[in-house]
A and B are shown apart, each in its own frame.
Chain A
């Protein structure tokens, strides 16, 4: 099993005819994702990797029965694309682009909530469910394998590092979710943990967090209810306050969003908190043996 994204998810690619859209459509198809259509205004009638392209999400949904969409359009147009998807009936929306204005993300997140749409991102690597052989995102295909561990992360490459170490350490994954590196994103740690709680195949969860915001602290309060072992690794130990560490959301502002505060909350809630990425596998082996 998996959360949010399964083999039954029928996926559209918005911005399919662009460089990114083209490349990642091919990768998704290679992984096994059910990519049923692309959307690029003015390009209907063409195909990418044998998949039909439509002018509008409305057309694409009508012809293909799509229920999920991944957005690759440039940041200034991403809000428009997201609204088109949501108004068109899409229920799982993955927004890849970086540098989307926060005000736009606020509007998209608000509408997603009203319509019951699961929004992943923006500024995310996406979501992958190895056991279902499907992904919506830009992550490399070869580093995952099916298994009992749920992973939720804010950062792309860092989550690849950790997912790959899990795979090499014999721990496959149910689903790996990228929340995104922006200040306002569709998912919080807690909203993703809710789904992992309800998934019987997920036996343990790895959280990959970083400085900034308070999503980790908030999640700590939920760990008891989650009732599954959690290993947490957080990045930004050496980050100076007031500086954005690459991600727009990774910043210690006015004393808030520090690593100490997050690690303290998670440790107090019973998570196994490690200080370096390569320590995750051993910690996981330990907490899963106890569980």
Chain B
């Protein structure tokens, strides 16, 4: 779960990493007051999109009056599809140099990874590989000051900056570990008056670890529909097409989306109804699909732990309840298949046993695909 910049900055501050003076502001008055207190400042939109600056999400104000006007213009504006509701006012910095540093997880090596570069201020993917220093962390040892000194040396830092950098890496790793971060990143890590200051920060928390961080503000950056389905407890991603899809299991759901596209159709969503879903959540998920008003609904079930008769019951529950006013294509095989298919047939719904012809049929019913 991504955290807003002001929350990431708060984490840095709590761990003793220098950040510029700043505060969260909710309205033009607070923005004016902030600039009166901290001097010329950047007003930064608190939205979870990259490239804020280029999109007009970071603006400067030299005086309280100016801050009032800028905040007025920014609050409520649309930034790449997100409404700006809060700003972070932060003292304008006289930047001498821009570095990069982050801690994340190396999936293949299964250990934490520290990355650093003297070429900061741009997305790290755009930095030439030769300019990035990478050091894996032994999780049993952690990051001690010597680790930071090694990294500083590899980067070619010396003197005060090397000392401050080594110290900062230790603290950054503490945040990664203690806050269950997937990513904690400072970019740019700036040099101001010869000292390191974290000018921008990203902090992504591991969703699976939220149970042990009760104080973390829950942020769902999804669309309204995505939020609604996430609340039922299902994995859901909105796509741009008009064939609604439900499958059981993440891999099957991905493959089903792929299959619709393969036959030339436009998938409307990714929906994993769960590897062993029972009647009620399956019916809820189907209700959501109906509410999207798609051209066709395609249900693709390989019943392993999921029972086909449960899926059939869920379909009938929705059909006989709120109704399914669009064409429905069902592929149903596996555990209790006969019973499931019988229940559907009694209600006039025929089920496919193979995925390919079912996906092809769904695309044809939507009037899409190759003719």
Taking Cβ atoms with an 8 Å cutoff, the residues of A that contact B are: 75-76, 99-107, 109-110, 125, 138-140, 143, 153-161, 164, 181, 183-185, 188, 208, 210-211, 213-215, 218, 235-240, 243-250, 254-255, 275-278
Q: Can you show 13 pairs from A to B with CB atoms below 8 A apart?
A: A143-B334, A157-B248, A158-B252, A188-B108, A211-B254, A238-B239, A239-B254, A239-B257, A245-B235, A245-B254, A246-B250, A276-B255, A278-B354
Known: A106-B110, A218-B108. A238 touches B208 (CB 8 A): no
Q: Whole-angstrom distance from the CB of A242 to the nearest CB of chain B?
A: 9
Pairwise interchain contact A103-B206, C-beta atoms closer than 8 A: yes
Output the nearest chain A residue to B334 by Cβ-Cβ distance: A140
Output the nearest chain A residue to B262 by Cβ-Cβ distance: A276
Chain A interface SS verdict (over half) = loop
Known: A139-B304, A140-B335, A254-B125. A158 touches B355 (CB 8 A): no
Stretch at the interface among B52-60, B90-98, B267-275: B267-275
The yes or no answer to B366 lying at the interface (CB within 8 A) is: no
Alpha-carbon distance A143/B335, docked complex (angstroms): 10
Q: Which of B299-322 contact A (CB under 8 A)?
A: 302-306
Pairwise interchain contact A278-B258, C-beta atoms closer than 8 A: no
Alpha-carbon distance A213/B112, docked complex (angstroms): 14
Output the nearest chain B residue to A254 by Cβ-Cβ distance: B125
B180 touches which of A101, A155, A208, A245 (Cβ 8 Å): A101
Pairwise interchain contact B208-A110, C-beta atoms closer than 8 A: no
Pairwise interchain contact A160-B105, C-beta atoms closer than 8 A: no
Output the nearest chain B residue to A101 by Cβ-Cβ distance: B209
Q: Whole-angstrom distance from the CB of A228 to the nearest CB of chain B?
A: 22
A101 touches which of B206, B237, B270 (Cβ 8 Å): B206
User: What residues of chain A lie closer than 8 Å to B108, measured between beta carbons?
Assistant: 188, 213-215, 218
Pairwise interchain contact A157-B252, C-beta atoms closer than 8 A: yes
Alpha-carbon distance A110/B303, docked complex (angstroms): 35
Pairwise interchain contact A103-B180, C-beta atoms closer than 8 A: yes
Known: A103-B209, A188-B108. A164 touches B302 (CB 8 A): yes
Known: A155-B251, A210-B251. A248 touches B110 (CB 8 A): no
Known: A215-B108, A246-B272, A248-B207. A238 touches B261 (CB 8 A): yes
Pairwise interchain contact A183-B249, C-beta atoms closer than 8 A: no
